[in-house]
Amino acid sequence: MPRGEFLLEVRCEEIPARMVRRATQDLGSRIFQELLNRKLTPREIETGFTPRRLAVALKGIPGREQDRTEEIVGPPASIAFDDHGKPTKAGEGFARRCGIEARDLERVKTPKGEYAAAVVTTEGRPTLEVLSELAPKAIAELNWAKVMTWGRGVGPWARPVHGIVAVFEGEIVPFELFGIQSGATTCGHPVLSPKAFQVAGFASYRKKLGKLGIEVNFEERLSKLEVGLSDAAAELGGIVVDDQPLLERLTAMCGTPGVVVGKIDEKHLELPREVLIASLRDHQSAFTVEREGELLPAFLTLMDRADDPEGFVRRGNEWVVEARLEDAAFFFGEDRKKTLAEHAAGLGRLSFHEKLGSYADKTERIVELCKFICRLLDWDDEAQTAAEVARLMKGDLVSEMVREFTSLQGIMGGVYARAEGLDEEVWRSIYEQYMPQGTADSIASTRVGRVVGLADRIDSVVGVLGIGLTPSGSKDPFGVRRAAQGVVRIALEGEMELDLDLVAARAYKQYGDRLEESAEEVLAIWRPFLFDRIRHILGLEDFSYDEIEAALEVGATNLPDLRARVAAIHTVRDEPGFRSVVLAAKRIANILKGVPEQELRADLLSEPAEKLLYQSYQKLRDEIKKAEHEKRYEECLRTMTSFADVLDHFFVEVLVMDENPDVRNNRVALLQAIQRSLSRTAGLTAVVVERADATEGKQGNG
């Protein structure tokens, strides 16, 4: 069957960058799914967008639906047919409803008996007809964060729609939406290239727009903008200060990626680098330029056109940038009139949460939690500095600069502490307190920074969980998941070998009577909540889920230790002897399931195989204890592999569930003791192995 391409474009007024990309993907997905449901599956889908247009091309679509044949079961044959086999009035009525002649009715046998049936064939419709139904529905039902109506109540949609292109294999797909008739005509920029032109498919659509300087492909547009920024920075003798989120935002804001080069008054270079970058990024969506780490008196930003011959765009941007930097200089000067400690003294006026107190209350909790963490880690040299940092670290939240640029919280505190001449470890720990904020970020560079970052996050997580605000679904207004992920990364990457349950319990205690949930209830939520973050982060290191689960069964409060166990399992899991031990551990677990704990008595061991097993177990137990104490986990696991043959021999020669209860219970007790030793390093039963791949002994008498 011939296959064709469907091109759909919705041309409208400018849609915010944060909305348009996802909407285009959603539009393509909706149409693809509707075609898939009708067995008109496209072979390829391509999307593109600018702020003023959403475009979708679905290629390789069959030219029409397949004919459908279905069997419709009607009334019982005894009712549908008379004694001579002719249709009764009931049979004729059923046939009429199915759109067939009564003589074409058939008899079918069902579990309930013989029934009349109609075999109905529905002719497939042309794809063009199908598209004319589903395309307007897909457009109208797009989900937007905000919608509007226009004209005399037209809409709702994100922005007023001005044109719709809907073409299948060069033929217009007819429909009307928002008072606009679909067609094959579009235009370029509404001011720079408003002349209408015809399109027949996606290739010609992109080519004709490209001649007008408009690129609908996001990746291509991003690449062009990136090259343009880099070239402009090179002409200034520098390089662009990297900011990928800003680059993507600017790309979504344009159809024609042009670059504006603006000047900055050199006096503003006296501002801290962080302030200058934040002001340009947050207020003007502009990049800064640097040479050998020093900022240059210039900025680069976007214009949605190829050039600026009269310089109007450049001058307009320079005027706004100058005003913004004057504001930033004023805020910086006002903040410097106080020390960071004086700023921190005002935290009592700033609420952390109505039920959890002010930021002054939070500061005191962090101070005490830092001392507790340092004691657990035996980091006595860091304890005093961590307490000092904890008292100052939230001070910038009441500064003028952070009120204006919330993205600079923590950073400005570090800048002000550095300007005051505080020790590098102090100002750097304040500066880095929110690290890491994402998977690509590193953790704080100092021990003190890691301690205060850990204490801050655990205080927040425990507090929010303690007032019953556990995140659900995609909702996490207090950033608890991000904070918990930070806890895991700081503890893991910072090699902080401490019991996180103890820290969480201490954090709970410091809230006094503010929390609504009991300590047991909070810890019961805390553990699985933390486990989920651990699974995610270790999974990013290419450890498999069963390796992580096996280590988690032993415990997860000491995260560097947990990771060492996961790594050990990962290293030895494919060794044949280890696979045999895993199978033996699973077998023991099945035998002992639901069996109460028994007392092991060596004098009741009578069979040679069980005596040999007992002797081997004693040696295994001692070797595992020693290796585990020294954290030689690979050695622990390999030690177990030498035990596999003895276990196999035992299961072949000995019946565990002996008729004599004393003998049976003693053998159970021996297996229970072995199970405890095998489970010291990892929960081996969680490790997935294929029985055919493992070296097994003979089938025995479990």
Secondary structure string (H, E, C) spanning 177-238: ECCEECECEECCCCCCCCCCEECCCHHHHHHHHHHCCCCCCHHHHHHHHHHHHHHHHHHCCC
What's residue 99's pLDDT?
Answer: 86
Q: Is the pLDDT of residue 426 over 60?
A: yes
Q: Which of 52-66, 451-465, 473-487 has the lowest mean pLDDT?
A: 473-487
Mean pLDDT of 343-362: 96
What's residue 694's pLDDT?
Answer: 39
| Range picked from 116-120, 338-342, 691-695 for highest mean pLDDT | 338-342
Beta strand pairing call for 154-157 and 113-122: unpaired
For residue 618, the Cα-to-chain-centroid distance in whole angstroms is: 47
- Residue 107: which domain range? 68-122
Residues 593, 642, single domain; the answer is: yes
What's residue 230's pLDDT?
Answer: 97
Mean pLDDT of 114-119: 91
Residue 546 lies in a domain: no
What's residue 701's pLDDT?
Answer: 52
Residues 655, 517, single domain; the answer is: no
What's residue 579's pLDDT?
Answer: 86
pLDDT, tens digit, 9 for 90 and up, residues 223-273: 999 999 999 999 999 999 999 999 999 999 999 999 999 999 999 999 999
Residue 561 lies in a domain: no
Q: Is the pLDDT of residue 700 over 70?
A: no
Residues 132, 92, single domain; the answer is: no
Mean pLDDT over all residues of the chain? 92
Q: Which single residue is written with the structure tokens 């190829």?
A: 306
pLDDT, tens digit, 9 for 90 and up, residues 185-202: 999 999 899 999 999 999
Mean pLDDT of 192-221: 94
Domain end, chosen from 211, 242, 267, is at 211
Q: Residue 76 is encoded by which pair of tokens?
A: 């019982």
Residues 56, 185, single domain; the answer is: yes
Residues 160, 296, single domain; the answer is: no
Residue 299 lies in a domain: yes
Q: Is the pLDDT of residue 349 over 50?
A: yes
pLDDT, tens digit, 9 for 90 and up, residues 600-649: 999 889 899 999 999 999 999 999 999 988 999 999 999 888 888 888 88
Residue 389 lies in a domain: yes
Residues 536, 579, single domain; the answer is: no
Mean pLDDT of 403-427: 95
What's residue 693's pLDDT?
Answer: 44
Q: What percent of the chain has pLDDT over 90?
A: 78
Mean pLDDT of 319-335: 96
What's residue 66's pLDDT?
Answer: 85
Beta strands per DSSP E along 13-52: 44-50
Q: Is the pLDDT of residue 363 over 70?
A: yes
Mean pLDDT of 409-415: 96
What's residue 255's pLDDT?
Answer: 94
pLDDT, tens digit, 9 for 90 and up, residues 640-680: 888 888 888 898 898 988 889 999 999 999 999 999 998 98
Residue 557 lies in a domain: no
Q: Are the C-beta atoms of residues 523 and 501 closer than 8 Å to each other?
A: yes
Residue 41 lies in a domain: yes
Q: Is the pLDDT of residue 24 over 50?
A: yes
Q: Total structural domains in the chain?
A: 5
Residues 130, 89, single domain; the answer is: no
Residues 35, 149, single domain; the answer is: yes
Residues 414, 481, single domain; the answer is: yes
What's residue 672's pLDDT?
Answer: 94
What's residue 577's pLDDT?
Answer: 82
Domain end, chosen from 286, 317, 335, is at 335
Residues 279, 357, single domain; the answer is: no
What's residue 1's pLDDT?
Answer: 53
Q: Is the pTM of this model over 0.85?
A: no
Q: How far apart are CA 12 and CA 10, in angstroms?
A: 6
Residue 613 has a CB neighbour count (10 Å cut-off) of 25
CA distances to 96, 134, 552, 567, 694 from 690, in Å: 59, 48, 21, 20, 7
Q: Are the C-beta atoms of residues 86 and 69 closer than 8 Å to each other?
A: no
